[in-house]
Structure 1
Amino acid sequence: MTTTPARGPAAARAAAETDRQVRRLYRLAYRVHSIGNTLADPDATAGTVARATARIPRALSAAKRLLALPGVADHDETPYALGFVHAAERRLTDPATRLLTVANAARAAAARAAADGDDLRVVVFRDIEERSRHLVGAARGEPVSGRRGWTRQDRTASDTLQRQAAQWGLTAGTDGRPPGPAGPGHPPVPARLAREAADRAATRARCAPGIRCERPACPAYGALWVEHGGRRWFVCARCLPAENADLRARGFRPDAKPVPGGVPEGARFSVRLYNAAGRGARAVECGTAQEAQFIAETERPFNNTGYEISVRYASRPSARP
């Protein structure tokens, strides 16, 4: 009889402690669920994937420690919390997560290939990245279309993509380069990608003289850097009289002329790529006129991409002094 009064408060304290640990499990479950959801984002970067794949296992270990505490595993609310934990755990082995890894490896490899001037690898790696991210989005599902999860064709496409990524050296532990030179030794390439790579190489050769004339109907490259009234732009020598005629027709003095000394030594170029049919723009810095024109003609971040090329001195912008 003397111990009965003590057993009541002890049981209450034990129950309160169990509830506290279950609340900890809930907080952990919500956090790991949020982290797992980042692996369903088609645009997840390599850093995002790396953080998620590192944090989820740590959260799972913490959940196991909480479940080992007295009363937590048997609590009525625990199964609901564990549903979030298990969902995040499944994300780690989900094919979509592997495709995100492939997509980010392909993006990095395409950047290296672009720096090397290897048009074939740029085209192949960008194609792998685009198709991988598309499948990740399909796995998540789009509420508008009512589609949820992968079809049988999507699963086949995922397997094919992962095999192709392995062939081109995009799997873990590689440097993102093909097993052989971008010639007879590279893996088989679909005809459409070979044509796209050839078109890209032709564009590179076309841009070799430099910036294209900004007159819409003029196909000439290697245009002059001209100025008028504080504004500077690119016009070829053949179109300069027509440019001045247009200035006269609009009521301005027709005295556009080449910038004295031309483009300064060591100047860089800024290519502004903008959405001609909506919002959005980004700028790319280039070291040469040839590179700037090539970027302007090959990069398409928007469906209706327009571009502007300006000259930047080594220390300050100079396109519009």
Structure 2
Amino acid sequence: MDRSTLEPAADAAGDPTPSPALDNPWLALRTLTPARIALGRTGTSLPTAAQLDFQFAHAQARDAVHLPFDHDALSQQLHGAGHETLLLHSAAGDRHEYLQRPDFGRRLSEDSAVRLREHAERHAGGVDLAIVIADGLSALAVHRHSAALLKRFDEQAAADGWRRAPVVLVEQGRVAVADEVGQLLGARMTVMLIGERPGLSSPDSLGVYFTYAPRVGLTDAARNCISNVRLEGLSYGMAAHRLLYLMREACRRQLSGVTLKDEAEVQSIGDEAADRKTGNFLLSND
């Protein structure tokens, strides 16, 4: 490639021609957030680099929505961690129908419902917990984060001794499909791991939804949500910690949703002595 095409143009005196993009005094703030701030401008338009970056992020989000659910690879990961899996499908026949008819994604197909009933009959007595993983609006998020999050959850939940159903994988599923899965399995609780709607800086955000006493017909008010589980967002350990708090409180109070608040205590950085020494600059140390 001709290097002259990569170097800034020069005027007659040999000095580089200044860029038409204006300097932005807020540029340093971009190191503190992934949000699109301080993008600068060229005249009344965005600089070319910022415009191309926006188009790239938009393409990533669209790709995440349409990426096929690789349930075979996920099943292998879960089997390697000691989990049984059961593959089901929602009432949405394909991705186009799934996006056009959200209600189809909230129910199982007839064949899947029959398979799940047969499984429940072979294992009578119900279970304490049913974990459901669905592709949702970002199979990319499920591929990247669901197995790792479930591993951290297993580590922290080992002492609780909950009876579990096999991990249910639902293709073309939405959040509410976990209600039908839990009801057919006779589960006391359901946990849904699902790909969230991609954002322009987060195409792989995983959502966690918890429901106590699941049954068909519940609204979102009956569920608790833990959002933005990914490497750049909420860590696996923190998400598992919050989820377990909600589950234990739900078992104690026999409810979930808007009446169950996430009041999990989070271990702060630094020990108590350091906190006492530093204090809060807004409060008196007297």
> TM-score band (shorter)?
under 0.3
In terms of fraction of residues, the more helix-rich structure is 1
State which structure, 1 or 2, has the greater radius of gyration over its C-alpha atoms: 1
Normalization by structure 1: what TM-score? 0.21
Which has the higher relative contact order, 1 or 2, with Cα contacts under 8 A spaced 6 or more apart? 2
Normalization by structure 2: what TM-score? 0.23
